[in-house]
Structure 1
Amino acid sequence: MNATAATPEKLIIFDTTLRDGEQSPGASMTKDEKLRIARQLERLKVDVIEAGFAASSNGDFECVQAIANVIKDSTVCSLARANDRDIGQAAAALKGAERARIHTFIATSPLHMEKKLRMTPDQVFEQAKQSVRFARNLCADIEFSPEDGYRSDVDFLCRVLEAVINEGATTLNIPDTVGYAIPELYGNFIKTLRERIPNSDKAIWSVHCHNDLGMAVANSLAGVKIGGARQVECTINGLGERAGNCSLEEIVMAVKTRKDYFNLSMGIDTVQILSASKMVSQTTGFVVQPNKAVVGANAFAHASGIHQDGVLKARDTYEIMRAEDVGWSANKIVLGKLSGRNAFKQRLQDLGVVLGSEAEINTAFMAFKELADKKAEIFDEDILALVSDEAVTAEKEHFGFISLSQRSETGEKPQASIVITVGGKEIRGESSGNGPVDASLKAIEAHVKSGAEMVLYSVNAISGSTESQGEVTVRLQNSGRTVNGVGADPDIVVASAKAYLSALNKLHSKAEKIAAQG
């Protein structure tokens, strides 16, 4: 690649929050939630949105299809294993897309071929070739990934990659599937592949790094700078299974802030980064740590007196990027109790929230008015929490929240009484517990009898005051399934009950998925 200062090459940003990110235990999302995030990714101007794994379940097929039908400015991609059924399902789900991509993969490391696939290298070679050939007949834009590529034999990998380029692969992605790589070694690994493969210039090279050793971003940037890759696969907030994926916001701001070093252009609208981060965090219940780069609450905070003095005199003494460039300044109070329905509806549109009917908008607006009576200042995060809440979608859910009363007094065992709906039928439950939250959840479980184990209970303030809504995440496990439920309310006990019911609804949904790697 012969980049010049005058004409920087384009770095393609491939977002896989809705596919690889969702594989994080408990991070599964509904179709409406995925659509909302996809619209925000489109506003962020990511180049490629990997919408899901169409063949894994009917639900995932419908999600990919729905996103393909509404997203116009980004390429919509579906993952597919290297077989005709998966690829056919991906093509069918992507049929309505303005720009579609099929991303097919097969493992190429000796360990994966022997232990997981139980295939010989020659069999994997033929399967890769045939699958790309089949996919190319269905879609013009084909990405191929050798799963566990970094731990693959270089000679064998060169043979496979040369063959799939000949069959029509337009992007070659080299995954560090298990997060084993070291930046310099990974960058040189990709460089070696590109130098040894005769037709390497016929495809765009991509990096996909996991964060098991905390080096996903560093490895990806090394793949770009040393290896010559021109696509980075990443997720919002670094969401993903195990220790997560490469963080989109860190990649984008590193390349933008150090343009002197990377000399690459991107199409990303960085002002949309914070909105995307908050939306993904609230939707999945995975809270962003305060000291997280770019999007953490402390990312642009200065507590040290020396730092504060320096920033007041000249911001660039301690700030290498501006908070407003990633969206912090846009996070202002937008609505209050006197705001009308049209203003509320417009703000929903600005936030990428599309409710299906006027009835749903009216329900959300009523919930907004109720919240505005309880707290003076309504933030974007409050609105997102409202429309994610059971209040808007209760009629679609098996379990619904109606009301809760609880009594807690020092020296007395807390008591809770709750009214919920189960399959449309109203049920009242009562229980005592170690605290008001424990009593409330036990009152629910006494009737539901889910038998689920709670593996996480987390409380987070949506905005920064004592009248803030509390956002509660409950993670439940049952029969091998792990789900997250998120609930928000100014009353933490009510938020906890909503979160528990949200998780129970996900457990009640029997949609299963096939695990995918990449």
Structure 2
Amino acid sequence: MLHDPNRIYVFDTTLRDGEQVPGCQLTTGEKVELAIELEALGVDIIEAGFPISSPGDFQSVVEISKAVKQPTICALTRANKGDIDVAVEALKYARHPRIHTGIGSSDMHIKHKFNSTREEILARGVEAVKYAKQFVEDVEFYAEDAGRADLPFLAQMIEAVIAAGATVVNIPDTNGYCLPDQYGSKIKYLKDHVSNIEQAIISVHCHNDLGLATANSIAGLQNGARQVECTINGIGERAGNTSMEEVVMILKTHASLDLHTNINCRRFYDMSCKVSSMMRMPVQPNKAIVGNNAFAHSSGIHQDGFLKNRENYEIIRPEDVGFPDASIVLTARSGRHALKFHLDRLGHHLDKNELDVTYKKFLELADRKKDITDDDLNELVSQLLVK
């Protein structure tokens, strides 16, 4: 089914799962603006919303379908005909429509969410896929809470929905429960035990409740999944979803994995800032790839090594993700090499003795003041010249 067996399809759910964060709701206009940016970024599938959930979500799917040309536009539903009918209507303008339907797969969900049985849930899942397939060729099935599902039953469910017409099977770690080796093994089990698995793409959809969403997603891709579901900045319900920029840059940095995406990584930083601003959700400074401190070096040992050769302390170049540039941040932990770098930048070329004197004064200042500015450095040098 896949033309390129090493191609990873990027399924962005910033506008659906990401937007479920309290206080981060977007207008239809804002969603369309972000969808156009996601298309420029190179995402393959945009999950535009859950049409039956509200008139606003319905309208967003309609307008995104009109505005976006290349990516597949996906609408989420539950496993019932009413949801699917509304999704079909919302997708009527989509050039490449996909319906994403599904149901719980763990005994926890089957018993305590649906008050049902495995047999009944299996039948409902199959029926939903068959019904959706009447309207669109591309049907994705999610086995909710697959992270805690019984493996033989999960395999049975996946085999049945593929036979019913599912083109993509989503194996969500809905509660962020799995360890990477467990999740990777789950994907491998499905590859090995589902007889018709080659007829569908396996998708990974991981949550970050234990901080393992990115690691679990990579483990899934290493074991045969070829679609990753993610969000910009890792936003999403509770602790968030898998971060798109982290997964894409891991694949890019670890060439030995021999997996690649069609994402234009140089747009990551701008995209991160846009999502953060529109959703009023700040990015933590130490966030991998796009955080303000991701390329900031403040320890003297690190600064010295970085100034001698960037690759001592950088495995990604800032420009690769559109980041303005690496920064040498002056703190009380900074060494002479970092201070000299900034003094030279400001045009102050000091000899060794002058640098030693200035460095002592600098340390005294840095112990008192959190942020050392260019004005502070100029003042230190002017004190030296006065003496």
What TM-score results when the alignment is normalised by the length of structure 2? 0.82
Q: Say if 2:164 is the partner of 1:197.
A: no
* Alignment partners' CA distance in 2, 1:32 and 1:193: 40
Contact 1:8 1:265 in 2 (8 A): no
State the SS of the aligned residue for 1:265: coil
Q: Using the TM superposition, give the Cα deviation of residue 160 of structure 1 relative to its aligned residue in structure 2, in angstroms.
A: 1.2
State the SS of the aligned residue for 2:77: strand
| Paired residues, number | 328
Counterpart mapping for 1:221-236 below 5 A: 221-225=218-222, 227-236=223-232
4+ residue runs over 3 A deviation:
none
Q: Say if 2:310 is the partner of 1:315.
A: yes
* Alignment partners' CA distance in 1, 2:191 and 2:301: 48
Q: Could you tell me which residue of structure 2 aligns to residue 187 of structure 1? A: 184
Q: Could you tell me which residue of structure 1 aligns to residue 213 of structure 2? A: 216
Q: Say if 2:149 is the partner of 1:152.
A: yes
Contact 1:8 1:263 in 2 (8 A): no
* Alignment partners' CA distance in 2, 1:181 and 1:43: 33
Q: Using the TM superposition, give the Cα deviation of residue 306 of structure 1 relative to its aligned residue in structure 2, in angstroms.
A: 2.3
* Alignment partners' CA distance in 1, 2:138 and 2:28: 25
**Residue of 244, 247, 252 corresponding to 1:251:** 247
Q: Using the TM superposition, give the Cα deviation of residue 242 of structure 1 relative to its aligned residue in structure 2, in angstroms.
A: 0.8
* Alignment partners' CA distance in 1, 2:22 and 2:255: 36
Q: Could you tell me which residue of structure 1 aligns to residue 39 of structure 2? A: 42
Per-residue CA distance 1:344-388 (angstroms, 9 max, x = gap) = xxxxxxxxxxxxxxxxxxxxxxxxxxxxxxxxxxxxxxxxxxxxx
* Alignment partners' CA distance in 2, 1:312 and 1:293: 21
Q: Could you tell me which residue of structure 1 aligns to residue 97 of structure 2? A: 100
* Alignment partners' CA distance in 2, 1:121 and 1:70: 41
Q: Could you tell me which residue of structure 1 aligns to residue 320 of structure 2? A: 325
**Residue of 298, 303, 308 corresponding to 2:298:** 303
State the SS of the aligned residue for 2:288: coil
Q: Using the TM superposition, give the Cα deviation of residue 85 of structure 1 relative to its aligned residue in structure 2, in angstroms.
A: 1.0
Contact 1:106 1:124 in 2 (8 A): yes
* Alignment partners' CA distance in 2, 1:130 and 1:172: 15
Counterpart mapping for 1:357-372 below 5 A: none
* Alignment partners' CA distance in 1, 2:10 and 2:25: 23
State the SS of the aligned residue for 2:311: helix
Q: Using the TM superposition, give the Cα deviation of residue 2 of structure 1 relative to its aligned residue in structure 2, in angstroms.
A: 12
Counterpart mapping for 1:109-128 below 5 A: 109-128=106-125
Q: Could you tell me which residue of structure 2 aligns to residue 293 of structure 1? A: 288
Contact 1:114 1:120 in 2 (8 A): yes
**Residue of 277, 280, 304 corresponding to 1:282:** 277
Q: Percent identity?
A: 51
State the SS of the aligned residue for 2:153: helix
Q: Say if 2:168 is the partner of 1:171.
A: yes
Per-residue CA distance 1:65-102 (angstroms, 9 max, x = gap) = 10011101211111010111111111111111111111
Q: What letter matches 1:137 in structure 2? A: Q
State the SS of the aligned residue for 2:237: coil
Q: What letter matches 2:261 in structure 1? A: M
Q: Say if 2:130 is the partner of 1:133.
A: yes
**Residue of 60, 63, 69 corresponding to 2:60:** 63
State the SS of the aligned residue for 1:256: helix
Counterpart mapping for 1:447-458 below 5 A: none
State the SS of the aligned residue for 1:130: helix
**Residue of 230, 239, 255 corresponding to 2:235:** 239
Q: Could you tell me which residue of structure 1 aligns to residue 354 of structure 2? A: none
* Alignment partners' CA distance in 2, 1:322 and 1:59: 40
Q: Using the TM superposition, give the Cα deviation of residue 177 of structure 1 relative to its aligned residue in structure 2, in angstroms.
A: 0.4
Q: Using the TM superposition, give the Cα deviation of residue 313 of structure 1 relative to its aligned residue in structure 2, in angstroms.
A: 2.3
Q: Say if 2:86 is the partner of 1:83.
A: no
Q: Could you tell me which residue of structure 2 aligns to residue 272 of structure 1? A: 267
Q: Using the TM superposition, give the Cα deviation of residue 310 of structure 1 relative to its aligned residue in structure 2, in angstroms.
A: 2.1
Moved more, 137-146 or 300-309: 300-309
Per-residue CA distance 1:247-268 (angstroms, 9 max, x = gap) = 01100100111112x1012100
Moved more, 66-75 or 311-320: 311-320
Q: Using the TM superposition, give the Cα deviation of residue 8 of structure 1 relative to its aligned residue in structure 2, in angstroms.
A: 6.5
Contact 1:104 1:145 in 2 (8 A): yes
Specify whether residues 254 and 33 from structure 1 end up closer, same or farther in structure 2 by C-alpha distance, changes over 3 A only. Answer: same
Q: What letter matches 2:206 in structure 1? A: C
* Alignment partners' CA distance in 1, 2:324 and 2:265: 12
Q: Could you tell me which residue of structure 2 aligns to residue 399 of structure 1? A: none
Contact 1:80 1:86 in 2 (8 A): yes
Q: What letter matches 2:191 in structure 1? A: R
Q: Using the TM superposition, give the Cα deviation of residue 231 of structure 1 relative to its aligned residue in structure 2, in angstroms.
A: 0.6
Counterpart mapping for 1:303-452 below 5 A: 303-329=298-324
* Alignment partners' CA distance in 1, 2:322 and 2:8: 21
Per-residue CA distance 1:3-35 (angstroms, 9 max, x = gap) = 9xxx76101111101100111122211111111
Q: What letter matches 2:317 in structure 1? A: R
Q: What letter matches 1:233 in structure 2? A: E
Per-residue CA distance 1:217-254 (angstroms, 9 max, x = gap) = 000100111x2101110011110111111101100100
* Alignment partners' CA distance in 2, 1:201 and 1:182: 25
Q: What letter matches 2:112 in structure 1? A: K
* Alignment partners' CA distance in 1, 2:202 and 2:148: 17
Q: What letter matches 2:253 in structure 1? A: T
* Alignment partners' CA distance in 2, 1:59 and 1:300: 39
State the SS of the aligned residue for 1:207: strand
Q: Per residue, is there more helix in 1 or in 2?
A: 2
State the SS of the aligned residue for 2:297: coil
* Alignment partners' CA distance in 2, 1:235 and 1:180: 19
Gap regions ≥5 residues in structure 1 = 331-463, 466-518
